[in-house]
């Protein structure tokens, strides 16, 4: 205690000396360099004030302006950050005013929130966005999300979630960009750019947060929060790349994950938090824990009590503690006992203060109060969400070119998702509201204004009531074509939403059989947050449009795809198993020691139902033979692969050419193929486009060893296309 008093006296004295009697203290002088302002402020802070910066509480859901005073009073004026659970800036500004005026130094609060795929204008879920293969559009929608969030008082989003996942039983597969490290890296960077813009202090830009660091998607058996067995090799070549890409794009924070990484939980893992993320990658920012994750080190069996949990997490490199108050309770005594030095505390506080200065919070702590009509659900934001939705859908089957629907005058529109709004928004719908979403029925009414559309909800998502089947069958018999909208509820995926089966409930599959039995062609539209087991559905459906969870414009996107207004262009960012008995199944697997039928399932196929990268179009894209600019490439040189793609149809369409690299002999065995480049382009009907992949050995042929060191070995390589066309070349 004595030390604290002495420290406080020294800090006050330092402040007095440093403070020019005739002006504000240096940290309040916007003309000074940020690092100077941070150093000046740090020098004035007491240990207690520093420790409060390392804590995050919550505030919000306060929809009664009259009791704002109570909510604000409950918040310590020196708290570092708050999760802001409200969507106007009034409460936020009142809380910020409390921090600026009721504390000794007036350090602004950093307000964070889960803006995962939209704040109020909800875009498609990230797994769908990755299928769009359109990073520019993802950046645009992330920028729109940031603008809405910023105008509501949010400075920082806990996004993008860039966990690699191979198990669709895991509910959070919906939130990430799928199974491929390269694809996830492209979209990680795209989202960071969208949230942060070019100037973090500019209006409408917010700080991003790469999560969940690291390996959360490897949760055993798809169960959330559990152990993950991750070798150092897999850590580097599978799980770290998407985080590295985000750091290189300028992400200002990361969030430690709940999972236990092969015995050392992510929240207290010095190797990943400090050696990799801070020392090697030089994160320009700080690391926050996930919710209660410091305290959970006790339940995970790493810490005997909260004090030990605080020590282990802090010493490992975790800067900010989310809501469990363990840092608040324990850090001061850990400094007192000498387990942690004040200099170490300063390093974490410095990272947080720097972001607050870079965001401009010291100079502009308050959010302008702007009417909702001028800042949320703007037409341009909805238009961008529709564009992204239209490119995120994946056409899985289209027997006899049933789609797009042309000339069918009578359409039976059937199923639990026909009139649904909420489930189109996905599991992390932020401040989104069901009322904002366009239903499939509304979209179809608008898009097929001249058709007779017969509706029948027919069944619920998952109960045994088949009483509506007869009505649906009647509608089908009275129609030329059936559109059956089936799928998941939004909360069946997301956090703590692991499922033991990826099949849809029996009632939904039985309805499909009943519709099929009418002899009418059936188009199945599936809304879901994960890959589902479609093996039985595939047999009964004439066409399958996988619509994921498309957000507020879901109904318009789906109707537009069925009418041909949108030509589906999505490519799967995650493998669809033939059956869940194959899980985990992913495209970039290591080669087996056996070939032929050995090592395969003896009772079912070992191939997925739909592989990574699969997706049909209404156009007919014909690939020419790939050519190579040379047979050999030297280090420092380049070799270019080219292919002509012809749109041999009467329908303009967008095609993504997907390029893969294989290294058949390598001291660290490589996957059978690894995506290294993709390019999406519009190809007008009847025209041909040439696509190129300029291979840079250091970027495209090197791999990393189990400590992340790049390794480039000479020898044979193969470059291949999704259609299997491959060419051999040699690195000299
Ligand atoms: C949750 C999630 C994390 C989220 C955080 C704050 O538990 O795991 O993704 O950002 O808490 O809501």
Across the chain, mean pLDDT equals 95
- Picking from 96, 80, 84, 128, the residue whose alpha carbon sits closest to that of residue 554 is 128
Q: How far apart are CA 672 and CA 578, in angstroms?
A: 20
What's the chain's Rg over C-alpha atoms?
27
Strands 632-633, 110-113: pairing is unpaired
Q: Which residues sit opposite 227 in a β-bridge? A: 260
When mean pLDDT is compared across 3-17, 379-393, 651-665, the lowest value belongs to 3-17
> pLDDT band at 414, cuts 50/70/90?
very high
> pLDDT band at 19, cuts 50/70/90?
very low
CA 180 from centroid of its chain's CA atoms: 13
pLDDT at 608: 98
| Residue nearest to ligand 1 atom 1, measured at CA | 291
Q: How far apart are CA 635 and CA 701, in angstroms?
A: 10
What beta strand segments (E) does 387-475 contain?
A: 394-398, 410-414, 452-456
> pLDDT band at 174, cuts 50/70/90?
very high
What 3-state class would DSSP assign to 254?
strand
Residue 697 CA to ligand 1 centre (angstroms): 38
pLDDT at 64: 58
Q: Is the pLDDT of residue 1 over 60?
A: no
pLDDT at 46: 98
Given ligand 1 and candidates 158, 171, 216, which is best to mutate, with the most ligand atoms within 8 Å of its CB?
A: 158
C-beta separation of 560 from 446 below 8 A: no
Ligand 1 proximity of 291 Cβ (cutoff 6 Å): yes
Query: pLDDT per residue over 580-627, tens digit each?
Result: 999 999 999 999 999 988 999 999 999 999 999 999 999 999 999 999
| Residue nearest to ligand 1 atom 10, measured at CA | 158
* Active-site annotation holds for 290: yes
Query: pLDDT per residue over 20-53, tens digit each?
Result: 445 789 999 999 999 999 999 999 999 999 999 9
Q: How far apart are CA 136 and CA 138, in angstroms?
A: 5
The pair phi, psi for residue 210, each rounded to 5°, is: -80, 125
Residue 49 CA to ligand 1 centre (angstroms): 26
Q: How far apart are CA 379 and CA 552, in angstroms?
A: 12
Q: How far apart are CA 682 and CA 411, in angstroms?
A: 30
359-376: average pLDDT:
96
DSSP 183-220: HHHHHHHHHHHHHH-S-TTSTT--B--EEEETTGGG-G
Ligand 1 proximity of 84 Cβ (cutoff 6 Å): no
- Picking from 575, 615, 496, the residue whose alpha carbon sits closest to that of residue 175 is 496
- Interhelix angle 326-336/342-358, rounded to 10 degrees, is 140
Angle (nearest 5°) at CA 464 between 460 and 467: 70
Q: Is the pLDDT of residue 350 over 90?
A: yes
Q: Where are the alpha helices (DSSP H) in 1-57?
A: 2-18, 34-44, 47-53
pLDDT at 24: 85
C-alpha count within 13 angstroms, C-beta hemisphere, residue 442 = 13
Enter the pTM of the model. Answer: 0.95
Query: pLDDT per residue over 475-506, tens digit each?
Result: 999 999 999 999 999 999 999 999 999 999 99
């Amino acid at each position: 205690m004595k030390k604290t008093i002495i420290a406080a006296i020294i800090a006050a004295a330092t402040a007095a000396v440093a403070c020019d009697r005739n002006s504000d203290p240096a940290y309040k002088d916007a003309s000074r360099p940020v690092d100077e302002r941070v150093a000046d402020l740090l020098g004035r802070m007491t240990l207690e004030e520093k420790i409060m910066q390392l804590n995050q509480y919550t505030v919000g859901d306060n929809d009664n302006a009259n009791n704002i005073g109570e909510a604000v009073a409950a918040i310590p004026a020196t708290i570092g950050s708050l999760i802001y659970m409200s969507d106007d800036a009034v409460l936020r500004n009142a809380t910020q005013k409390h921090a600026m005026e009721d504390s000794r130094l007036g350090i602004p609060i950093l307000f964070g929130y889960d803006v995962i795929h939209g704040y109020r204008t909800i875009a498609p879920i990230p797994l769908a966005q990755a299928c769009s293969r359109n990073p520019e559009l993802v950046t645009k929608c992330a920028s729109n999300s940031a603008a809405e969030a910023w105008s509501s008082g949010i400075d920082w989003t806990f996004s993008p979630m860039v966990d690699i996942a191979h198990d669709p039983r895991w509910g959070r597969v919906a939130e990430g960009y799928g199974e491929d490290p390269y694809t996830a890296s492209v979209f990680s960077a795209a989202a960071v750019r969208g949230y942060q813009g070019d100037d973090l202090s500019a209006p409408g830009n917010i700080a991003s947060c790469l999560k969940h660091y690291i390996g959360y998607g490897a949760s055993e058996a798809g169960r959330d929060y559990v152990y993950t067995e991750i070798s150092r090799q897999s850590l580097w070549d599978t799980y770290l790349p998407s985080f590295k890409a985000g750091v290189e794009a300028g992400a200002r924070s990361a969030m430690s994950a709940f999972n236990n990484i092969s015995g050392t939980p992510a929240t207290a893992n010095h190797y990943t938090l400090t050696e990799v993320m801070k020392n090697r990658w030089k994160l320009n920012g700080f690391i926050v824990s996930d919710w209660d994750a410091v305290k959970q080190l006790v339940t995970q069996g790493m810490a005997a009590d909260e004090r030990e949990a605080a020590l282990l997490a802090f010493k490992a490199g975790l800067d900010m503690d989310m809501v469990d108050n363990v840092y608040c309770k324990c850090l001061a005594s850990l400094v007192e006992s000498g387990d942690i030095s004040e200099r170490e505390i300063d390093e974490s506080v410095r990272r947080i203060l720097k972001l607050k200065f870079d965001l401009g919070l010291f100079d502009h702590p308050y959010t302008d109060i702007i009417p909702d009509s001028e800042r949320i659900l703007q037409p341009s934001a909805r238009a961008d969400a529709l564009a992204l939705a239209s490119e995120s859908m994946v056409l899985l089957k289209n027997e006899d070119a049933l789609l797009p629907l042309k000339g069918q005058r009578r359409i039976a529109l059937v199923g639990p998702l026909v009139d649904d709004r909420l489930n189109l928004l996905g599991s992390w719908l932020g401040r989104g509201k069901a009322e904002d979403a366009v239903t499939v029925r509304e979209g179809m009414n608008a898009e097929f204004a001249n058709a007779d559309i017969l509706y029948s909800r027919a069944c619920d998502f998952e109960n045994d009531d088949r009483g509506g089947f007869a009505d649906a069958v009647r509608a089908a018999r009275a129609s030329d074509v059936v559109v059956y909208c089936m799928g998941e509820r939004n909360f069946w995926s997301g956090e703590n939403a692991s499922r033991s089966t990826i099949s849809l409930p029996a009632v939904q599959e039985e309805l499909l059989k009943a519709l099929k039995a009418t002899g009418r062609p059936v188009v199945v539209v599936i809304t879901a947050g994960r890959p589902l087991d479609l093996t039985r559905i595939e047999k009964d459906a004439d066409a399958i449009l996988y619509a994921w969870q498309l957000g507020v414009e879901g109904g318009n996107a789906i109707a537009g795809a069925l009418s041909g207004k949108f030509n589906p262009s999505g490519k799967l960012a995650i493998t669809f198993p033939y059956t869940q008995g194959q899980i985990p199944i992913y495209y970039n697997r290591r080669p087996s020691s056996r070939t032929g039928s050995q090592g395969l399932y003896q009772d079912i196929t070992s191939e997925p139902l739909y592989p990574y990268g699969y997706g049909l179009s209404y156009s007919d894209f014909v690939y020419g033979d790939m050519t190579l600019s040379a047979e050999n490439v030297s280090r420092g040189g380049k070799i270019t692969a080219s292919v002509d793609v012809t749109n041999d149809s009467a329908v303009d369409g967008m095609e993504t050419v997907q390029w893969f690299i294989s290294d058949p002999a390598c001291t660290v065995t490589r996957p059978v193929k690894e995506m290294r480049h993709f390019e999406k382009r519009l190809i007008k009907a009847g025209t041909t486009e040439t696509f190129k992949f300029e291979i840079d050995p250091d970027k495209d042929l090197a791999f990393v060893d189990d400590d992340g060191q790049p390794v480039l070995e000479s020898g044979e390589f193969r470059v291949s296309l999704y259609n299997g066309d491959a060419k051999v070349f040699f690195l000299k």
